[in-house]
Structure formats: structure tokens, C-alpha cells
């Protein structure tokens, strides 16, 4: 058993919300994720969330199809707000007070991102969901997660994914792929391991924020991560490569 984290930044991909669907939002999956988050919040842990938009629109794919990259990225940011509002609704139906803050002003549906206000919400045990990425094109929601984690003084970034950690190569293509238990930031960057994009890794390294990568689909994993159980892969300066 490792340390228990008190304030965490949970990074969810948009794809995590669509379950087995090829597009959109699976309400049952959203309810399941919300229930896990609610259970952790009720234990006294402060949770902020950054959610992606790939289940609705991914900017880089739009650019690849011929769109202007900045325009495509802004559309992707708006998709993340749709996911954030969906998750907010699910959490509030479970009695968990939740605020959505967006990096692009949408005052009718969400608060603008204000760092001090976000921290105050967390101190009052409200879940804060950051939508619209960083508000800037050419930056991923992984980078946003690292940025917001640094801004709110989070203890850790949880990267909840569809695999159970970080591998030396794609486990779907190579059955002999090795899963790491722990890694240093430098090893991740030097070997271009697909944890988060390099800008996000560098931000976490510069601010000494550990990253934990684990399988979201296994029930209870968010709680296990919070209490420091050895699940998935942990990335940090004090970690060994193993």
C-alpha cells in the first residue's frame, strides 16, 4: 500500500465515455464512471477532471481531412465541453456537487476557468471538471491535464485509459509486450513511450507531479489508485525503471 492522495487530477479520454460504441456517449458507462468518482469524493478526496472529446470530434483528425488545424482544434475543445456537462449531470444526479469550468467562455452553461475559484471548489469537496482544453489550438487535453494539475497543486495525475499501464510496445500488436510497473519521466521521453504527449510529460517533470496510468474499465481502480495500490504504471523522478 502506498500513499493516499488528497487532491488528484483525473484525465479521462473522450473514448472512455463511449464504451463499445463507435461514436458518442454511452449513458451506462458514464453512470459507472460517475459512481466510482462519487465514491472517492465521499471518502474526502478532492477530484478535478480533464476530459477529452475524441468520442465526438478529434481536432487532429479534422486537420488530416483538410480542415484548418486551429479551427479543427477549437471544434474539438467544444466537444470536450459536451462531455464535461454530461459527466457533471451524472455526478449531480448522485448528489455530488460539481462545477464545469471552461477555457473558452460559455457563461450560459459553465463557469470560466479561474484558478482560485477552482481551488476553492475543491476545498469545498466539489468536483471540478475542466472543459475546452487549455483554450489554445495545437495543445492536447493531456497537456491541459498536466497544466491544470500544476495550477491546482494536485498530488498526482491519474491517466485512466483502456489498458492496464504503459508497455514497451503496443500489447495489441505484440503479445510479448512488457508492462512497466514504474518509469522515470526521462525514460518516457527518451523512448517515446505513449503515456501522454511530450509536452504533458515535460510539464509534470518540471513540476514534480507523478503520473499514474491504469485501466479505467476495472471497477474500483480509481479508489485503488487514490489509496496508492500498485496498479498500472507510475511515472516520476523518484521511480525506478522496472
- Residue 73 in marked binding region: yes
- Round to whole Å and give the CA distance between 205 and 211: 10
Give the helix ranges, DSSP H, for 43-98.
59-64, 69-93
- Residue 4 in marked binding region: no
- Residue 14 in marked binding region: yes
- Residue 186 in marked binding region: no
- Residue 11 in marked binding region: yes
- Round to whole Å and give the CA distance between 185 and 4: 21
- Residue 199 in marked binding region: no
189 grid coordinates? 521521453
- Residue 20 in marked binding region: no
- Residue 54 in marked binding region: yes
- Residue 181 in marked binding region: no
- Residue 139 in marked binding region: yes
- Round to whole Å and give the CA distance between 161 and 129: 17
- Residue 62 in marked binding region: no
Segment (H or E) for 52: none
- Residue 12 in marked binding region: yes
- Residue 167 in marked binding region: yes
- Residue 198 in marked binding region: no
Look at phi and psi of residue 232 and say left if phi exceeds 0, alpha if psi is from -120 to 50, else beta.
left
- Residue 136 in marked binding region: yes
- Residue 13 in marked binding region: yes
Query: Binding site, residues?
Result: 11-14, 53-54, 58, 73, 134-141, 161-162, 167, 170
Query: Binding site for ATP, residues?
Result: 11-14, 54, 58, 161-162, 167, 170
Amino acid at each position: 500500500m502506498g500513499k493516499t492522495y488528497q487532491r488528484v487530477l483525473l484525465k479521462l479520454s473522450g473514448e472512455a465515455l463511449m464504451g463499445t460504441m463507435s461514436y458518442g456517449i454511452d449513458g451506462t458507462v458514464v453512470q459507472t464512471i460517475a459512481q466510482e468518482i462519487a465514491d472517492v469524493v465521499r471518502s474526502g478526496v478532492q477530484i478535478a477532471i480533464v476530459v477529452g472529446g475524441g468520442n465526438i470530434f478529434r481536432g487532429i483528425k479534422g486537420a488530416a481531412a483538410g480542415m484548418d488545424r486551429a479551427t479543427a482544434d477549437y471544434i474539438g475543445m467544444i466537444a470536450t465541453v459536451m462531455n464535461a456537462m454530461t459527466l457533471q449531470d451524472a455526478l449531480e444526479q448522485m448528489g455530488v456537487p460539481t462545477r464545469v469550468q471552461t477555457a473558452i467562455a460559455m457563461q450560459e452553461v459553465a463557469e470560466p476557468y479561474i484558478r482560485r475559484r477552482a481551488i476553492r471548489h475543491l476545498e469545498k469537496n466539489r468536483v471540478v471538471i475542466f472543459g475546452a482544453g487549455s483554450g489554445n489550438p495545437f495543445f492536447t487535453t493531456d497537456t491541459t491535464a498536466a497544466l491544470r494539475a500544476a495550477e491546482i497543486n494536485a498530488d498526482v495525475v491519474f491517466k485512466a485509459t483502456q489498458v492496464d499501464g504503459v508497455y514497451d510496445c503496443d500489447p495489441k500488436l505484440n503479445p510479448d509486450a512488457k508492462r512497466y510497473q514504474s518509469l522515470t519521466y526521462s525514460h518516457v521521453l527518451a523512448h517515446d513511450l505513449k503515456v501522454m504527449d511530450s509536452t504533458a510529460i515535460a510539464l509534470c517533470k518540471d513540476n514534480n507531479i507523478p503520473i499514474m496510468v491504469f485501466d479505467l474499465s476495472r471497477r474500483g481502480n480509481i479508489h485503488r489508485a487514490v489509496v496508492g495500490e500498485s496498479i498500472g504504471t507510475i511515472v516520476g523522478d523518484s521511480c525506478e525503471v522496472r
